[in-house]
Amino acid sequence: MKPIYKIIIGLTCGSVLLFGKGFPDSYYKLNGKTQKREFINILKPLIDKSNEKTMKERVFIKNFFNKALLGGFRFLNPNDLKKLVIISKKYRVKNIFDRDTYLERVDSVPVPLSLVQGAIESGWGKSRFVREANNIFGHWTWGEVGLVPLGRTEGKTHKIRIFNTMQNSVDAYVLNLNRHYAYKNFRKARLQKREEGKIITGYEAADTMVNYSELREKYVNMLHKMMKEHHLLYYDMVEKQKIKGLL
């Protein structure tokens, strides 16, 4: 009897994978544009979930400081303070009462950017890293557990990080963009847009991704081209409409 190593909600490839490695077997039987479209259908809900969790943290941050300021930072709720400490460690905010740093780091990542970076780093979900480690975005680790990259340069010790689920991989990607020093320009550009009552689009965010790949500017051009080619800028329009409805 073939072991059951994947649990999938629903019956389609686009369902969210909870356990196991890689995309569903049916995905790898597809090819061309059909497979790429299915990649988007699978990955987007995972990105949405990561962004949703991040935005809940952002709402908490806003509410915490609004209450704290009204009370002159007296009578702080112990449970809220404990949660704030956890978030400060997660996003590497040294001063737990540094509201501005939280608002710069705790925010969503544009869907078009996430989709094309996931496609490039995973070879549209077909890479060994995805199949064996649920690693969509090529995250490294220097711990004991990990996949050794084929052809790793002698003397190098990095490994490919193993995730329990693909959702964990997406969560790590969003967190990485939100706290790593290499993406500070992305966060600053995003914050500026927020202050203007707008969102940073995937296309604009791509301009700040020169440090994501050794290809640098060529990588940015790849991101732009793929967003257009696969009509992913549509998701920016959806977000703009949401923002417009809230203003």
pLDDT tens per residue across span 2-23: 333 333 333 333 334 444 678 9
Does residue 8 lie within any of the structural domains?
A: no
Does residue 3 lie within any of the structural domains?
A: no
Does residue 24 lie within any of the structural domains?
A: no
Domain containing 118 equals 33-246
Does residue 74 lie within any of the structural domains?
A: yes
Does residue 223 lie within any of the structural domains?
A: yes
Model confidence over 152-183: pLDDT tens digits? Answer: 777 776 788 899 999 999 999 999 999 999 99
Q: Which residues contact 89 (CB under 8 A, 6 or more apart)?
A: none
Q: In terms of Cα–Cα distance, which of 158, 122, 169 is closest to 147?
A: 158
Model confidence over 89-126: pLDDT tens digits? Answer: 999 999 999 999 999 999 999 999 999 999 999 999 99
- CATH number, domain of 135, equals 1.10.530.10
d(CA 168, CA 133): 11
The answer to whether the Cα torsion of 110, 111, 115, 116 is positive or negative is negative
pTM value is 0.86
Does residue 204 lie within any of the structural domains?
A: yes
Please state the domain count of the chain.
Answer: 1
The three-state secondary structure class of 147 is: strand
Does residue 202 lie within any of the structural domains?
A: yes
Does residue 80 lie within any of the structural domains?
A: yes
